[in-house]
Chain A
Amino acid sequence: MAAAATMMFGQEQMVSSNNDMAPDWTSKEVSTGTTIMAVEYDGGVVVGADSRTTTGAYIANRVTDKLTPIHDRIFCCRSGSAADTQAIADMVTYQLGFHSIELDEMPKVETAANLFKASCYRYREELTAGIIVAGWDKRRGGQVYSVPIGGMCVRQQVSIGGSGSSYIYGFMDANYKPGMTKEQCMELVTNAVSLAMERDGSSGGVVRLAAISESGVERRVVLGGQLPKFFTN
């Protein structure tokens, strides 16, 4: 009896400290280890992301939508802890909606970015969230702001983020040129996210795209079979 009791106690400890007997997804946090990006063009922005959410080695959701609308013409791309980014996005959506009603006009993308920054910086020790804010407003047109882990905020013409982004820095440096059209941006984003998905274990699934401009938001999905093929040996 004593021996059995000891064994049971040991088992309990072992499961919670992640041994070989229990699969790792029982103890790993849900992460959107991912590839996200946003590109400015004349008249708007194109945002793109993969669709894989992982808990350790298990893919919890293979058709995730990481492009979250914050307002009518403002989106955010989420990477890092799924819980953290969802919570922050919900907070910012509320704050921005309230602010927009008070102002009685469409909010600036810069305002949304600063709201993200405020939360990400204040709670930087507790959070793991890398966010790209992109959208259109009538004062400055299409804008992309990057709010990486740590809580800085910087405007860029192109921003890439998430674990898969490391693999496409070279590709983006070589292939992005200022002054591209919306269709060229869509193609660039599709290619870049596909390349990253091919190399990063935490990215995969489908490529989700959204083009945001004055006239509205156009969403597209590029499914597995339609992804561009590259030479990968």
Chain B
Amino acid sequence: MAVTFDGGVIIGSDSRATMGGEVVSSKTINKLVQVHQRIFCCMAGSLADAQAVLKTASFQLNLHSVQMEAPPRVIAAASLLRKLCYHNKDELQAGFITAGWDPQKGPQVYVVSLGGMLISQPFTIAGSGSTYIYGYTDAKYRPHMTREEGLQFVTNALALAMGRDNVSGGVAHLVVITEEGAEHVVIPGNKLPKFHDE
């Protein structure tokens, strides 16, 4: 998931990778990939497809940035991903959340869905565990939150989703992106907030 707050964005994910829904092949995978200094992407769907697309998009983004002689905009990163997902939609099963900060538009969150739709939203959730937290995030989100409120929002939402979805779990990876740069926060499973029945 990713959410904008006053001055930046926070992008977060769980860390579980499964094979066929039966075996946890990795408990600590990092699904947050840095494509540029202030732009991060979060993978969803087939991790193999997502990694391949991200590698290509990273390369193209760097080339674009060199040609422009300026840091890339967040929408540039998202558009590259969308182009790859849309034109190869028959072969791929990958979706992305792109979040970052640029000087032109400040903090932004973009979603590229499975078929290649690109939209911008103040916050967004995705992945199998997201179904269970639609109600929570709809109720809890406020525009213009502070950094602390944003962190609490993402941590709680991830913890709730991991508590209900069997293919989500592990640790919570969060990255806070502001004008100053990107800060990676990892919250291990036992430090995640607990809710009433745990």
Contacts and interface: CB of A to CB of B under 8 A. Distances in A.
Interface of A: 166-178, 191-192, 195-196, 198-199, 230-233
Given A169-B135, A199-B134, A233-B122, 17 more contacts: A166-B131, A166-B132, A167-B135, A168-B136, A170-B135, A171-B136, A171-B139, A172-B135, A173-B136, A173-B195, A195-B135, A195-B139, A199-B135, A230-B138, A230-B139, A231-B138, A232-B138
B55 interface: no
Contacts of B86: none
Given A166-B131, A169-B132, A169-B164, A174 B138 contact: no
B196 A177 contact: yes
Nearest to A177: B196
Interface stretch (B6-14, B33-41, B63-71, B155-163): B155-163
Contacts of A196: 135
B120 to A, nearest CB: 10
A174 B195 contact: yes
B197 A173 contact: yes
Interface of B: 121-123, 131-143, 156-157, 160-161, 163-164, 195-197
Contacts of B138: 195, 198-199, 230-232
A167 B165 CA distance: 12
A71 to B, nearest CB: 29
A178 B142 contact: no
B136 A170 contact: yes
Interface centre among B121, B123, B135, B161, by most chain A C-beta atoms within 10 angstroms, is: B135
Contacts, number: 66
B interface: dominant SS: helix
B131 A173 contact: no
A167 B134 contact: yes
Contact of B160 (A173, A191, A199, A233): A173
Q: Considering the complex of A and B, which 5 residue pairs feature the smallest CB-CB distances, nearest first?
A: A168-B135, A171-B135, A170-B160, A170-B133, A170-B136
A26 B138 CA distance: 35
B164 A233 contact: no
Contact of A173 (B123, B141, B143, B196): B196
A171 B142 CA distance: 15
B168 to A, nearest CB: 12
Nearest to B119: A233
Contacts of B137: 170
Interface centre among A166, A174, A232, by most chain B C-beta atoms within 10 angstroms, is: A174
Given A170-B135, A170-B157, A171-B135, A178 B164 contact: no
B196 A170 contact: no
A170 B161 contact: yes
22 contacts: A170-B132, A170-B136, A170-B161, A171-B136, A172-B135, A173-B136, A173-B163, A173-B164, A174-B156, A174-B195, A175-B139, A178-B196, A191-B139, A192-B135, A198-B138, A199-B134, A199-B138, A230-B139, A231-B141, A231-B142, A231-B143, A233-B121
A217 B163 CA distance: 34
A176 B196 contact: yes
Given A177-B196, A199-B138, A230-B138, A167 B132 contact: yes
Contacts of A198: 138
A172 B139 CA distance: 11
Contacts of A195: 134-135, 138-139
Nearest to A169: B132
Contacts of B164: 169-170, 173
Contacts of B143: 231
B131 A167 contact: yes
B37 to A, nearest CB: 28
Contacts of A230: 138-139
Nearest to B164: A169
B147 to A, nearest CB: 19
